């Protein structure tokens, strides 16, 4: 059967006209190929119209993939009990002998494609295939990467519509447009509309065709192609074209005299990334993924997304008033893997009285319910999420859809560290920051993390899970990124988790507001700093003023010394850990070891002069 005949057979008249109107053979070939392989009963072509968006929203409810809640526009979605996170083991890169990927999970390309095609054969029989035309980044921008998503899940299609900008019209106006491709099927589903064949769950990334395959899963991290799956493709594209695709928020920090400076920030999970870009008094432009490009000797960034797929645990009116308001106001919101009772969602840390029964990711639930292994099933999953558009938040920045992006003046890297890094510090320069801060990022495991409590997990640029190239090459790209720049963004390190001698946090959850204000002063040359062996530290008088102005509280010199003393032994141990890690990789730039050794010598010299724990005042 001819490709056009397959599409005529599967599409109704309206959808076929929308597809024909694109006048793009590559798109027709792509969609017809998977219409033939997956064999859906019908194919729906999603344009940018509100009518098409409403069709998918209604389908999600009609099919039982989402359930309505009391507040208009709000729905719940439940992934299966065994489909609650990104599947790192089954997420693989399809490679050839000519493109080895050191240390990354991979499979021979031909073998992987053959396996996927078998899994996809007739997998959509009895269902509808949804085809979406989307954009990563603002539409009609030099940052734009266009994408086509194929899925048989109305929930996935609905999620894509909230999270990403529609681009059907761009495809229609650009006949030879290049695009990323995604093929997803939930596979066979159970009575709760959750994927059943989890043992056959596969997520394969094919760089040669810029294509991602995802089967037998519904969890958004495995299925919403434009999210972390796209990040892997974009990292390779950025490598070819000389820009950066990063796991970063983008936010605006405001100064006392009306200045507005944009920062990006990369933090491993549970290290304060979302809470930083959502702090009171500042603006959020994006919470997860950013593209950074050079223009006119400066660095600009965009948020890849227009929405948030955020962890909902501990979102409550006291700690997250703006998110809470969005989640309790009419409008499009998808709650996933929470507890639903009488049209009301409940989750861990919401400060509400939890009912003793309801419906959650395990189906009908009541307190004390156990799983097949005898473990008690919580009422709401620890990884439960909310999906919402950014512009539903009152603190959404006005430049969210600016096709030119925003000027990046600072980049923040934060880890979870009980005894080494100070709460905030600035690198000496770009190379020093890339190596001793960004490339040395670590996060300690907690009681909520698999593994030993306090174990330090290395996570280069907070992007390790999504790297799609050798780590040495990735660092090299960073180091070379400042070529031709008039002024590189300033690199900062932050640590919100420093402990005292009794194992208690020494700083408050709100202190990060002060650290942001200090960084904003620094990029505007409005505050001096103390030069130490690890970088520039704030001066006491500046922080004292900021604590009073921002938080309305005193900040004593005793606290200052406790916060910002250099812990020499711990810093030296960290340098050795990082060196040992990089010795385990091939082709790491030699400058990485040189800069770490220079820092080691500086710390050793200071320790010999002032002792193992050095007050910042010793360096004045």
pLDDT tens digits along 565-595? 999 999 999 999 999 999 999 899 999 999 9
**Helix 590-610 vs helix 568-583: angle between axes, to the nearest 10 degrees?**
160
> Does the pLDDT value for residue 611 go beyond 60?
yes
> Does the pLDDT value for residue 130 go beyond 80?
yes
- Using the CB atoms, write b or e for 402-422: b if 16+ within 10 Å: beebbbbbbbbbbbbbbbbbb
| Residue 490 confidence class, pLDDT cut points 50, 70, 90 | very high
Helix, strand or coil for residue 388? strand
CATH of 3-65+84-241, one of 3.90.78.10, 3.40.449.10, 2.60.120.10, 3.20.20.140: 3.40.449.10
296, 423, 468 from 293: Cα distances, Å: 10, 29, 19
Domain ranges of the chain: 3-65+84-241, 245-306+400-619, 309-392
CATH class of this structure's domain 245-306+400-619? alpha beta
**CA-angle at 487, arms to 486 and 490, nearest 5°:** 165
Query: What's the mean per-residue pLDDT of the chain?
Result: 95
| Residue 4 confidence class, pLDDT cut points 50, 70, 90 | confident
Query: Can you list the positions of beta strands (E) in 186-266?
Result: 202-206, 211-215, 244-246, 249-254, 260-266
Nearest Cα neighbor of 244 from 551, 516, 482, 558 is 482
The CA distance from 62 to 37, in Å, is: 25
Note the residue count of the chain.
620
262 near 251, Cβ under 8 Å? yes
11-27 mean pLDDT: 92
Number of CB atoms found within 10 A of residue 583's CB: 9
What's the pTM? 0.95
| Residue 560 confidence class, pLDDT cut points 50, 70, 90 | very high
What share of the chain has pLDDT > 90, as a percent? Answer: 90
Number of CB atoms found within 10 A of residue 447's CB: 6
> Does the pLDDT value for residue 82 go beyond 70?
yes
pLDDT tens, residue by residue, 439-457: 999 999 764 444 455 689 9
535 near 428, Cβ under 8 Å? yes
For residue 451, what is the DSSP state? S
Q: What is the pLDDT of residue 425?
A: 98
The CA distance from 417 to 499, in Å, is: 8
The CA distance from 160 to 75, in Å, is: 15
Q: How deeply is 368 buried, as exposed, middle or buried, from its count of CB atoms within 10 A (0-12, 13-18, 19+)?
A: exposed
241 near 249, Cβ under 8 Å? no
The CA distance from 31 to 88, in Å, is: 28
Residue 11 among the catalytic residues: no
Sheet of 74-77, strands arranged across: 67-68, 74-77, 333-336, 385-389, 307-311
Same fold, 3-65+84-241 and 245-306+400-619: no
Domain covering 309-392 in this structure, CATH number: 2.170.8.10
Q: What is the pLDDT of residue 452?
A: 58
The CA distance from 246 to 93, in Å, is: 19
Catalytic residue among 11, 38, 135, 271: 271
Q: What is the pLDDT of residue 593?
A: 98
Question: Helices in 101-246 by DSSP H: which ranges?
Answer: 109-120, 154-163, 168-173, 220-223, 228-241
> Does the pLDDT value for residue 99 go beyond 90?
no
């Amino acid at each position: 059967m001819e490709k056009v005949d397959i599409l005529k057979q599967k599409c109704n008249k309206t959808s076929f006209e929308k597809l024909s109107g694109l006048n793009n053979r590559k798109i027709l070939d792509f969609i017809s190929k998977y219409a033939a392989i997956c064999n859906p009963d019908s194919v729906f072509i999603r344009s940018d119209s509100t009518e098409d968006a409403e069709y998918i929203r209604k389908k999600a409810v009609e099919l039982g993939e989402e359930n309505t809640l009391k507040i208009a526009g709000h729905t719940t979605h439940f992934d299966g009990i065994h489909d609650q996170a990104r599947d790192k083991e089954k997420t693989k890169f399809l490679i050839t002998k000519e493109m080895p990927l050191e240390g990354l999970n991979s499979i021979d390309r031909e073998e992987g494609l053959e396996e996927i095609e078998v899994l996809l054969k007739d997998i959509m029989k009895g269902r509808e295939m949804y085809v979406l035309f989307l954009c990563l980044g603002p539409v009609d921008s030099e940052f734009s990467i266009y994408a086509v998503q194929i899925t048989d899940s109305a929930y996935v299609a609905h999620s894509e519509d909230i999270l990403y900008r529609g681009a059907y019209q761009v495809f229609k106006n650009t006949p030879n447009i290049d695009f990323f491709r995604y093929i997803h099927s939930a596979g066979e589903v159970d009575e709760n509309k959750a994927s059943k064949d989890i043992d056959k769950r596969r997520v394969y990334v094919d760089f040669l065709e810029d294509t991602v395959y995802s089967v037998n899963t519904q969890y958004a991290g495995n299925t919403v192609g434009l999210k972390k799956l796209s990040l892997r493709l974009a990292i390779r594209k950025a490598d070819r074209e000389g820009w950066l695709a990063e796991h970063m928020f983008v936010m605006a920090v405001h100064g006392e005299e009306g200045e507005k400076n944009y920062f990006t920030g990369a933090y491993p999970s549970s290290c304060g990334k979302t809470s930083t870009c959502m702090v009171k008094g500042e603006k959020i432009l994006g919470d997860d993924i950013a593209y950074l490009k050079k223009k006119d000797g400066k660095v600009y960034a965009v948020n890849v997304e227009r929405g948030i797929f955020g962890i909902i645990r501990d979102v409550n009116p006291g700690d997250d008033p703006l998110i809470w308001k969005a989640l309790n106001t009419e409008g499009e919101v998808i709650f996933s893997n929470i507890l639903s009772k009488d049209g009301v969602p409940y989750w861990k840390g919401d400060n509400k009285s939890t009912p003793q029964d309801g419906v959650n990711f395990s189906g009908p639930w009541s307190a004390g319910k156990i799983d097949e292994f005898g473990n008690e099933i919580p009422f709401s999953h620890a990884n439960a999420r909310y999906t919402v558009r950014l512009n539903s938040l009152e603190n959404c920045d006005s430049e969210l859809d600016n096709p030119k992006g925003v000027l990046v003046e600072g980049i923040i890297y934060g880890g979870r560290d009980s005894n080494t890094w100070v709460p905030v510090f600035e690198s000496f320069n770009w190379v020093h920051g890339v190596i001793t801060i960004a490339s040395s990022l670590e996060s300690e495991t907690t009681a909520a993390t698999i593994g030993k409590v306090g174990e330090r997990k290395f996570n280069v640029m907070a992007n390790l899970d999504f790297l799609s190239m050798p780590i040495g090459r990735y660092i090299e790209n960073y180091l070379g990124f400042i070529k031709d720049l008039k002024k590189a963004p300033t690199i900062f390190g932050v640590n919100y988790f420093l402990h005292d001698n009794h194992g208690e946090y020494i700083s408050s959850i709100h202190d990060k507001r002060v650290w942001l204000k200090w960084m904003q002063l620094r990029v505007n040359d409005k505050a001096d700093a103390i030069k130490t062996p690890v970088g520039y530290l704030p001066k006491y008088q500046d922080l004292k003023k900021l604590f009073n102005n921002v938080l309305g509280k005193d900040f004593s010199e005793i606290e200052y010394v406790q916060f910002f003393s250099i812990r020499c032994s711990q810093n030296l141990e960290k340098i050795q850990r990082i060196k040992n890690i990089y010795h385990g990789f091939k082709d790491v730039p030699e400058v990485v070891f040189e800069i770490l050794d220079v820092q080691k010598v500086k710390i050793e010299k200071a320790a010999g002069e002032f002792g193992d724990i050095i007050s910042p005042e010793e360096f004045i």
